[in-house]
Amino acid sequence: MALSNEEILAGLAELITDETGIAGDEVALEKSFTDDLDIDSISMMTIVVNAEEKFGVTIPDDEVKNLKTVGDAVTFITNAQD
Amino acid sequence: MTATAHPTLRQATGPAYTRVLAYGAARGEVSVPNEALIGPIDSSDEWIQQRTGIITRMRAEHDTDAIDLATAAGDEAIASAGIDPALIDLVIVATVSNPKQTPSVSAIVADRVGANPAAAYDVNAACAGYAYAVAQADALIRSGAAKYALVIGAEKLSDVVDPTDRSISFLLGDGAGAALIGPSEYPGISATVWGSDGSKADAVGMNATLTQFRDGEVPWPTLRQEGQTVFRWAVWEMAKVAKRALEEAGIEASDLAAFIPHQANMRIIDQFAKQLKLPDTVKIARDIETTGNTSAASIPLATHRLLKENPELSGGLALQIGFGAGLVFGAQVIVLP
């Protein structure tokens, strides 16, 4: 069964905390990965690969640059689960 | 079935095993710290260190070329092995940055180190070039085509950098690392796991052709990379290759004394080691911190330094893996001399 948006957000927050040490409650849908959370491109790719494994989805390299906010990532993963 | 008559022909056979006998190293003469590069890329020392782990990189002076660096590294490897250079009958230089396409770097180096008339050719396999050349030297010695092989990775990458490029230029350094390979009484070089993926040719490489430059269509061609694409491939795909290399060698990660990946970026090295679940006992080469990324030269340079700083590693097993523009990759386990 597909995960809800809230479950994906919580799972993503865990991955972000593991990679960067950013507190989970800092991770919200409207937050920009680069401007708000200060996540660099290498950490972003690490989070993407770990998210692929955690949520069983594929996130192509070309798609990663479109994931500006946490909400973009949650939406992409939600759609990719279907 | 009728027997076919064949002419009698002698085919060569060689020794059962090979190993690396000694290493040599030569780095560019000038230490170029991050502060010297941050202006044109609107960056900072902290930004570069955080993303690459590089504090400074070694670059060659204007009049020093990859042939000079390769010769110096080769001379040291030969002297260190205590082999008469006249016995060397194969010289392979892995390089992508020699600004003159022909003659080869290797033929000139063979002559300069005293190995004339050794067979000599260059290998264009970017950052995997050294691992490719080791695979060839091992195979050619065991087949009887050569007895002693001088394998060198040599680059003057500072000739192909753009000071305003934020993708790869600030990572790059100049240097040459050499390994002298010869027959052995015990297995010293495992089967190489190697390959390519030309579907990702655009991920890293030169940004234009020399003919485009000649025709005034583009500035001097330099290296570029799609950092995120390369990072994903270099860690997660290459971790699979590294594991296959261990399997081919018939060993476990815990049997290793050292892990010597291509010195592309410290973040790649760290994540790579994490994916391989290397035990703390395995020394990880981190020469990039003060040498920079020297493409084909990085593995032998890092190995040379690791052995200098940790002589107790001698006799231990090292997993080496090169990966880069092509895309291409090559990995093998060696016994450290």
Q: Which domains are delineated in chain A?
A: 5-81 (1.10.1200.10)
Q: Which of A33, A43, A44, A45 to mutate to test the interface with B (most CBs of B within 10 A)?
A: A45
Query: In chain A, positions 1-60, which contact chain B (CB-CB < 8 Å)?
Result: 40-42, 44-46, 48-49
Q: How far is A60 from chain B (nearest CA, A)?
A: 9
**What pLDDT, on a 0 to 100 scale, did the predictor assign at position B45?**
95
- Going by pLDDT thresholds of 50, 70 and 90, the confidence category of residue B1 is low
The pLDDT tens digits for B205-241 are 999 999 999 999 999 999 999 999 999 999 999 999 9
Cβ contacts from A onto B, under 8 A: 27
Dump pLDDT digits (tens) for B119-154.
999 999 999 999 999 999 999 999 999 999 999 999
Q: What is the pLDDT of residues A12-42, one digit of tens each?
A: 999 999 999 999 899 999 999 999 999 998 9
Which superfamily does B193-335 belong to?
Answer: Thiolase/Chalcone synthase (3.40.47.10)
Residues of B in contact with A64 (CB under 8 A): 228
CA distance B277 to chain A (A): 16
Task: State residue B5's pLDDT score.
Answer: 85
* Span(s) in chain B for CATH 3.40.47.10: 17-184, 193-335
What per-residue confidence (pLDDT) applies to B4?
76
pLDDT at B138: 98
Residue-level pLDDT at A18: 92
How many C-beta atoms surround the C-beta of residue A58 within 10 A? 8
By C-alpha distance, which of B193, B232, B227, B208 is closest to B328? B193
Of B119, B154, B160, which is closest to residue B140 (Cα–Cα)? B119
Probe site for chain A from B231, B236, B238, B327 (most A CB atoms < 10 A) = B231
CATH number attached to the domain at B17-184 = 3.40.47.10
Please report the ipTM that was assigned to this predicted complex. Answer: 0.86
pLDDT tens-digit readout, B43-74: 999 999 999 999 999 999 999 999 999 999 99
Tokens found for residue B332: 């093998």
* Chain B residues within 8 A of A41 when measuring between CB atoms: 51, 227-228, 231
Of residues B313, B247, B236, B303, the one with CA closest to residue B276: B236
